[in-house]
Amino acid sequence: MLASLIGLFFLFLFYSGAYLLIKKYLKIAPAFILLFINLAIIIILFLAGLVGLLEQTVWGIGLSGVFYLTVRFFLNRQDVLSDVSAMLASWVASLKYFFKKRFVLKSLVLLVLSSSCSFTLINLTLNIWVHPRWMITMIFLVLNIFLFFTLSLLSFYFLNLLHENIPFRFLAIAGLILSAAFFVFVLTDNKYLVPRTDTIVIQAAEFINGENGENGEIILNEIKDFETQDKLEPEDIGQWQSLIQSGSQVGLKSQVLGDPITYFSSRKGPSEYNFIFTESPSSGTVEIRLNGNSYFYNLKNVEVNQRNVRIASGYLVGDVFLLGAHFIFSLTMIQAILALFYTLWKDSNALFPQKYRTYIIILFLAVIIFFITRPMYYWEWDEFSHWGTFIK
């Protein structure tokens, strides 16, 4: 986790230095600077890989960009600090005007937006369930404070764009559709939900709605996770007995009323389970309890057959809150990105001075590339050698 944050900061410095270097010495259209940087990285890494100097080259690439940025900043520090001070003063003035009316309502709405976005970002990039709570809490608070003021500033310009620019209104509507699609196809995946342990209890039913169940034996052949087709193994079989045919176990059976067999399934998000029972003239009524919810099935049949039963576990309360946060994140981030790029594209000086506009766009795209290519690294500290995925 710490390596990821350091790597992102290192990448931030590298792209800043690389952008300034290319802009000064090469005549390339600003739109192609980022492409040029990435192509240069791939070619250099390819050549370094041929001679076995990939790791040393990665260090050289990163440090060269950081070194050039440091030199440029030192030589132009007064102009840069002056521009940053003026930019911050403009942002503060915009925030004061934005919060001048309905301060409490706007603060509460933005707090919900920033909290949802902060938690979703942490949940998408880190396995938050295995880290200490104090560490996750500290990261959440720092990120929440940063996003609160960032989203406040972007909300001010977003509302102004909606009010003054008719084309942007159509762009915002398209953003709603894109947000919904991103939420449905990406953020609803079970791997982003709360870790859980489904408890499955199976027994011969004693009572069904206050009445006696059909007495008889229960033969359970197997239970599988419907999605993965993994077979579940029992944790506690009670008085259930193994059913052996042709020298191998084909299931478990019991005819003792109220004698449970218990299974546990650890996973994230809801799941479907496929139960296979044997129906026969001597079978009775089975009760299946999944996370406390009971389901009854009469297995008595004049012929011996297999019966498939599929039962789905539902969402937990925590899953519902997470999905809500994910939807708010999708809606907020896409609209914020559209507002940011629309402002930059229209050559407005509302957010950034003219001479920094291309730099902000390239840096923003570099951060997006960081998250896209993050799973493809070779060393924990490294954010460049993953480009070598296409080489090695």
Instruction: Please give the single-letter amino acid code of residue 215.
Output: N
pLDDT by residue (tens digit) across 227-243? Answer: 888 888 888 888 888 87
213 in any annotated domain: yes
Q: Is 294 helix (H, G, I), strand (E, B) or coil?
A: strand
Whether residue 69 is predicted with pLDDT greater than 60 in this model: the reply is yes
Tell me the mean pLDDT in the region 160-186. Answer: 88
Whether residue 108 is predicted with pLDDT greater than 90 in this model: the reply is yes
**How many angstroms separate the CA atoms of 223 and 233, rounded?**
8
392 in any annotated domain: no
Higher pLDDT, 174 or 361: 174
Highest mean pLDDT out of 118-132, 247-261, 359-373 = 118-132
269 contacts 213 by C-beta, under 8 angstroms: no
Shared-domain flag, residues 304 and 333 = no
Shared-domain flag, residues 199 and 184 = no
Reported confidence tier of residue 392, pLDDT bands at 50, 70, 90: very low
Q: Is this prediction's pTM over 0.95?
A: no
Based on its alpha-carbon atoms, the radius of gyration of the chain, rounded to whole angstroms, reads 30
Among 114, 159, 172, 109, residue whose Cα is nearest residue 334: 172
Shared-domain flag, residues 341 and 309 = no
CA pseudo-torsion sign 171, 176, 177, 180: positive
**How many angstroms separate the CA atoms of 135 and 280, rounded?**
57
Residue indicated by tokens 């990163």: 62
Shared-domain flag, residues 131 and 205 = no
- pLDDT score for 213: 58
Reported confidence tier of residue 201, pLDDT bands at 50, 70, 90: very high
- Helices and strands: H and E segment counts in the chain: 9, 12
Whether residue 387 is predicted with pLDDT greater than 80 in this model: the reply is no
Shared-domain flag, residues 125 and 102 = yes
Segments forming the whole domain that contains residue 121 = 82-193+319-352
Q: Indicate the range of 31-40, 106-115, 201-210 predicted with least confidence.
A: 201-210
Whether residue 113 is predicted with pLDDT greater than 90 in this model: the reply is yes
pLDDT by residue (tens digit) across 278-330? Answer: 898 888 888 899 988 889 888 888 888 889 999 998 888 888 999 999 999 99
Reported confidence tier of residue 347, pLDDT bands at 50, 70, 90: low
Whether residue 115 is predicted with pLDDT greater than 90 in this model: the reply is yes
Please tell me the total count of domains within the chain: 2
Reported confidence tier of residue 273, pLDDT bands at 50, 70, 90: very high
138 in any annotated domain: yes
pLDDT > 90: percent of the chain: 14
Among 130, 12, 128, residue whose Cα is nearest residue 69: 12
Higher pLDDT, 101 or 5: 101
**How many angstroms separate the CA atoms of 254 and 109, rounded?**
57
**How many angstroms separate the CA atoms of 206 and 213, rounded?**
5
From 263, 288, 315, the end of a domain falls on 315
User: In Å, what is the CA distance from 221 to each residue of 54, 198, 201?
Assistant: 54, 19, 15
Among 165, 187, 167, residue whose Cα is nearest residue 178: 187
- pLDDT score for 102: 87
45 contacts 388 by C-beta, under 8 angstroms: yes
Residue indicated by tokens 């992102």: 8
